[in-house]
Amino acid sequence: MVRECIAEFESLSEGEKEELIQKFSVEKAEKKKEQVVALPPLEKAEKGKVVMRFAPNPNGPPTLGSARGIIVNGEYVKMYGGKFIIRFDDTDPRTKRPMIEAYDWYLEDIEWLGYKPDEVLYASKRIPVYYEYAKKLIEMGKAYTCFCSQKEFKVYRDNGVECPHREISPEEALEVWERMLDGEYEEGEVVLRIKTDMKHKDPAIRDWVAFRIIRESHPLTGDSFVVYPTLDFESAIEDHLCGITHIIRGKDLIDSERRQRYIYQYFNWEYPLTKHWGRVKIFEFGKLSTSWLRRDVESGKYEGWDDPRLPTIRAFRRRGFESEAIRNFFISLGVGENDVSISLKNLYAENRKIIDPKANRYFFVWDPVRIEIEGLSEEVEVELPLNPNKGTIRRLRGKNVVYVTRDDFERLKGKVVRLKDFCNILLDKKAEFRGFELDDVKKGKNIIHWLPDGETLQCTVLGEKTWEGMVEKNVVQDEGKVVQFERFAFCRIEKAGEEVLAIYTHP
């Protein structure tokens, strides 16, 4: 039945086909609109009252991974209306030392991705607030100062046994706490723990650390503090203070919720709704850790944090990606708890949809080979499509000395090829002119791109590798924009002067 229909359709004339397609295209267009990518509805989300946050530690620049957090949270706030808060969880000046430049990079990239934070908070500047809540908990007997070493406590924890310090009175604990704040103890000597349940079936939950001493100057607050909260504590307090309604983050933080709930219970607060997503592994980048990237950037293996080979948002911006593409890419991943490993090809496909219709076309001849065309006496002016979608054109001089790429030269030497939009030649270093008409070579489809001698600019393309070659002068008008180098790839023209520097976007 279906086959018959198709056969019937195929047998129609072009005109008739067109007519039928027209007839159904309205319906199709409507369907496409419905399928606009969107996040699944958020549980218990009230219009205008959704408060969400993105809480990075700026110990490196935002990466594709950060983009997911920004996009998913930001997008939900957009969907329902409410508040979007950026909070820098920068409470460890040593092991996760913040990078001073990264604070602004986050803000910039968030804006570029299309979200405007309603509030920006720096945890490191609000440490006194956390002290107050710590004090309350101590007074309530829900937190205690503990002098066990990490090793000692591990034994207690693993065996589900309460440590001796757990039983001290709130008054005593308070006294120790004050002395901690006054800097009377050394690093590692004492910590403040939250009382949970030493018999909890998950050892990870048992009496966790809320504050520890770190004697290291903080990039933002200097030496103002020696007692720093852990993420679990800081974030628990802050989420409540900010009135966060929904938390969506990676599943590595799943235990965090279980720990924090104890505090919420003690203060009688309501814990936000949470959702956790799985790990994203991108084929092209493998596992990426900020510290690992940092080492390679600092060692000079990469040009900088926006090196086009890097998975940072800055790098994608430099490559000329549209933020809409990145948004669609992550929205389509959804918020499932299973791990995903996905190829950047999907991102490329999203980006291509947006960029292809607007990118101007140019010839870029990499690894050029000089060709002399014999039998072509006069120069001609050649018109080529600049943007096939808009019908605009560009011009090139058709000369008897041209350059083609080595790949094409070697592959097609001795054959008749078509210099796109110009003429046909028998390809060799001394080529023979074979006419201007297209039909002669159309069958073989040996259509290649070319550039006239003396009317080009030096061009370098930076990407996975570096390509050297020449490009037509016309590109100058597209400085800063993404163009398509025909038969090569999309590239962003970063600089166009005497020489051209282009960044490889994607195929």
Partner RNA sequence: GCUCCGGUGGUGUAGCCCGGCCAAUCAUACGGGACUCUCGAUCCCGUGACCCGGGUUCAAAUCCCGGCCGGAGCACCA
486 binds RNA (CB under 7 A): yes
101 binds RNA (CB under 7 A): no
The CB-of-492 to RNA minimum distance in angstroms stands at 16
Which residue of 182, 252, 455, 468 would you call a contact of RNA, by CB under 7 A?
Answer: 252
Is the Cβ of residue 409 or residue 488 nearer to RNA in the bound state?
A: 488
Which residue of 38, 120, 155, 340 would you call a contact of RNA, by CB under 7 A?
Answer: 340
Do 82 and 42 contact (CB within 8 A), yes or no? no
408 binds RNA (CB under 7 A): no
333 binds RNA (CB under 7 A): yes
Longest dimension (CA), the chain: 102
Binding mask 435-454 for RNA (x = CB under 7 A): ---x---x--x-x-x-----
Do 71 and 331 contact (CB within 8 A), yes or no? yes
421 binds RNA (CB under 7 A): yes
Structure tokens at 148: 């066990």
96 binds RNA (CB under 7 A): yes
Compute the C-alpha angle 328/334/340, nearest 5°: 100
Is the Cβ of residue 13 or residue 268 nearer to RNA in the bound state?
A: 13
Looking at this protein, which amino acid is placed at residue 64?
Answer: L
Q: State the SS3 of 326-338.
A: HHHHHHHHCCCCC
Overall residue count recorded for the chain in this entry = 507
203 binds RNA (CB under 7 A): yes
155 binds RNA (CB under 7 A): no
336 binds RNA (CB under 7 A): yes
Which among 132-140, 230-238, 303-311, 475-483 is the span making contact with RNA, rule CB under 7 A? Answer: 230-238
- C-alpha gyration radius of the chain: 31
253 binds RNA (CB under 7 A): yes
Do 293 and 303 contact (CB within 8 A), yes or no? no
388 binds RNA (CB under 7 A): yes
399 binds RNA (CB under 7 A): no
Which residue of 52, 57, 313, 493 would you call a contact of RNA, by CB under 7 A?
Answer: 57
346 binds RNA (CB under 7 A): yes
Do 221 and 172 contact (CB within 8 A), yes or no? no
Is the Cβ of residue 48 or residue 331 nearer to RNA in the bound state?
A: 331
Which residue of 153, 225, 403, 504 would you call a contact of RNA, by CB under 7 A?
Answer: 153
Residue 126: burial class (beta carbons within 10 Å; 0-12, 13-18, 19+) = middle
Structure tokens at 327: 């948004």
Residue corresponding to tokens 């940092």: 294
Q: State the SS3 of 178-200.
A: HHHHCCCCCCCCCEEEECCCCCC
Is the Cβ of residue 56 or residue 300 nearer to RNA in the bound state?
A: 56
Which residue of 254, 380, 401, 476 would you call a contact of RNA, by CB under 7 A?
Answer: 254
Is the Cβ of residue 343 or residue 392 nearer to RNA in the bound state?
A: 343
Which among 245-253, 267-275, 458-466, 473-481 is the span making contact with RNA, rule CB under 7 A? Answer: 245-253
Residues in region 71-90 near RNA by CB under 7 A:
89-90
416 binds RNA (CB under 7 A): no
341 binds RNA (CB under 7 A): yes
Which among 110-118, 293-301, 456-464, 479-487 is the span making contact with RNA, rule CB under 7 A? Answer: 479-487
The CB-of-419 to RNA minimum distance in angstroms stands at 7
224 binds RNA (CB under 7 A): no
**431: three-class secondary structure by DSSP:** strand
DSSP assignment letter at 45: P
Which residue of 170, 278, 435, 463 would you call a contact of RNA, by CB under 7 A?
Answer: 278
Structure tokens at 245: 């309604």
The CB-of-363 to RNA minimum distance in angstroms stands at 9
Which residue of 349, 369, 412, 457 would you call a contact of RNA, by CB under 7 A?
Answer: 349
For residue 146, which of 167, 132, 160, 127 has the smallest C-alpha distance? 167
342 binds RNA (CB under 7 A): yes
Do 446 and 426 contact (CB within 8 A), yes or no? no
Q: What stretch of H or E contains 461?
A: strand 456-462
Residue corresponding to tokens 């490993």: 341
154 binds RNA (CB under 7 A): yes
Residues in region 353-372 near RNA by CB under 7 A:
353, 356-357, 361
Measured CA to CA, the distance from residue 86 to residue 111 in angstroms comes to 11
Rounded to a whole number, what is the distance in angstroms from the first to the last CA of the chain?
Answer: 40
Q: How many of the other CB atoms lie within 10 Å of CB of 131? A: 18
H-type alpha helices, 213-322: 231-242, 254-267, 290-298, 313-318
**249: three-class secondary structure by DSSP:** strand
Q: Total binding residues for RNA by CB under 7 A?
A: 83
